Homo-oligomer: A and B are copies of this chain.
Amino acid sequence: MSSFHKFKHFVFGKPIHARHAHHERLSVPFGLAVFASDALSSVAYATEEVLLVLILAGSLAAYGVLPIIAVCLAVLLVIIAFSYYQTIHAYPESGGTYIVSTDNLGPYAGQLAGAAILIDYVLTVAVSISAGAQAVVSLAPQLQPYTVPMACGAVGILCLMNLRGAKESGIVFAIPTYGFVILILILIGKSLFTGITSPAVVPQLPAWDGNQLHTLGGFLLLRAFAASCTALTGTEALADGVKAFKPPESKNASKALVMMVTLLTTMFIGLSWAAWHSGIVPIESGTEGYRTVIAQLAEQQFGPGFMTSAIMIMTAAILFLAANTAYADFPRLASFVARDGYLPRQLGTVGDRLVFQNGIILLSFIAIGLIIKFNADTHSLIPLYALGVFVAFTLSQAGMFRYFRKRRWMVLKRKDLEADDEHPTASPRERNRAARKFAIQSYVSGFGAVVTFCVGIILIYTKWEERIWIVIIAMAILMTIFNLISRYYKSLAKKLTVTRADHLPEIKPTTLLLVPRMHKGILLPIQYAKAMSPDARAIHVALGKESAKRIKEDWNNFGVEMPLIILDSPYRSIIQPILDYVDHVRSMDAKRVVTVIVPQAVPKHWWQGLLHNNAAILLKLALGTRRNVVITNIRYFIEGEQENQ
């Protein structure tokens, strides 16, 4: 098996995932790189989305709302991050939102949160990879016809990387993250300088969106704001990763949070302003000569040389990294959902390579489906994107609100405080202070819930025509599946419950050892069969007269003390005669449990396995609903090779 193992190791590697298996704690800069790449990368597409809405206003007046939007965004970021931080503090085990919602708002809220986040992970991959492909196309327009294949290929690479379980270090995150941030800041700086030294360019408004020009009314403003909300996806990652920071954890994480908010808003407002000031308007993707806004801006400022290339490459890199984060989170969340019986139970053992890999393959398939369906076009994908995050935010904040209210009530009513290790004693004064603290925390969470709920409504309202209902339907379908699965498991548990009437059955074991011919590989199985049961018999299915004669001789010559039974097979089947004999043995006594032992060769190379019978598989398939029959493989090794565990 060694070459098979080598092959397996080459393809799948060792199971390590940097994001959730940090043995070393992260410093602030590295922590920021690891947990903020997802959020920071979103400026690559969020800016473009906002500009896209604003050009509909068709006048420079729209320019004025950019600071407003940026401020809203920054405030929202801080609210979400802070209130999320509270959550992490109360529920230190990861899997945050889903567990908070389930615990405090009941199973349906939990299911909704789970569905929303799982969908959002898929969209993270689809959106980030599509945006990355668009960045590449901006750099090399001749690749435009290959946008979709490129994006699918990138998902394929991510999938393989994660199947291998590539070991990621902080530095892998730091280079694209800081590279992207620094280059974007330079781009903004240069634009600013050019902007100050030269007058604003009046943009040539293109024939976008059927040239329907709107006045900058409330709806457009909301739409612009909604578009900017995609920049908030990925925020939860930082709060989720507090424990990975060097001590003092929360202080360091807060520093990283402040830095992230600063960088995100700076880049967002800077890019928007620069683009607008330079008369750059988004181009409809699929158009001849398509380039992203960042690409247009970079080319305007630096020409089509090194800097522009560097900016686009770093953009693609950070987006690839952002997509990668979903690969660690998707199987992990699925495992929490599975543990509650809403998804197949085996997904719960995420520590098992194959299970983890199933999650990765599933995620890749759905993401590729979305990319193909939406033509790797971020403009059509992004409207679907942010809702899941806001549903999850709202549920987790609402859950935390209830959690803190309950705590406060418990403290005031002098109820038991044992669940809260921070307040073991309870003098009236301390109790009041505790209650006040819980009250404040509940206000923060409650406010966060209301804000994110409102944003969610705005998203649904403004993006309805951009097919945001697809996400709502997807959530409903996923919740239905959760419930069907849960119902099945519950009815199963009921059926299998042990009652007082149940007792251990009496059994009489019989062992049948399949002997194709006398060889070294069956010496251990002979002993195994004899040890298993006093009624052990060797079985040979004779496809020809010669083989029967030969095995009889060999058997007697070797002197095995076990009856050898020869079964004829007129139709040259190996399975039917065995099944018939098994039925014959079982028919003698209802307590009889028959074990068929099939020696199985383990060859040196995996392809040699194709040359070895494994009757056990055929027997198992043929077994049907026969009860009290067990098929067992005993392996023997053809090459006397080292054990390799």
Contact = CB atoms under 8 A, between A and B. Distances in A.
Interface of A: 1-2, 5, 335, 339, 344-346, 348-355, 485, 488-489, 492-493, 495-498, 502-507, 509, 518-521, 523-524, 526-528, 531-533, 543-544, 554, 558, 560, 569, 571-576, 579, 583, 593, 595, 601-602, 608, 610-614, 618, 620-628, 630-635, 637-638, 641-645
A625 to B, nearest CB: 5
A497 B519 contact: yes
B612 A625 contact: no
A574 B645 contact: no
Contacts of A505: 523-524, 527
Given A524-B505, A624-B1, A630-B632, A498 B485 contact: no
B354 A618 contact: yes
Contact of A532 (B355, B532, B583): B532
Nearest to A611: B344
Nearest to A523: B504
B351 A576 contact: yes
B613 A528 contact: no
A645 B630 contact: no
Contacts of A612: 345-346
A344 B576 contact: no
A527 B504 contact: yes
Nearest to A632: B632
A520 B498 contact: yes
A583 B1 CA distance: 18
Contact of A528 (B488, B560, B625, B630): B630
B488 A509 contact: no
B625 A602 contact: yes
Contacts of A620: 633
A573 B348 CA distance: 9
A573 B624 CA distance: 31
19 contacts: A1-B624, A345-B613, A348-B543, A348-B572, A349-B573, A351-B573, A352-B573, A354-B621, A488-B608, A492-B601, A492-B638, A495-B520, A498-B518, A502-B520, A507-B527, A509-B532, A524-B628, A625-B642, A632-B632
Contact of A625 (B543, B569, B645): B645
Which 9 A/B pairs are nearest by Cβ-Cβ distance?
A: A351-B573, A496-B519, A351-B571, A351-B572, A349-B574, A346-B613, A632-B632, A496-B520, A625-B644
Contacts of A485: 611
Contacts of A643: 625-627
Contacts of A352: 573-576, 618
A235 B626 CA distance: 46
Contacts of A533: 531-532
Contacts of A628: 524
A1 B626 CA distance: 10
Nearest to A348: B543
Contacts of A524: 505, 507, 593, 628
Interface centre among A5, A335, A349 (most CB of B within 10 A): A349
B349 A572 contact: yes
A349 B488 CA distance: 40
Contacts of A558: 498
A216 to B, nearest CB: 52
Contacts of A595: 632
Given A354-B621, A497-B519, A503-B523, 5 more contacts: A348-B572, A349-B569, A352-B575, A353-B575, A583-B645
A561 to B, nearest CB: 9
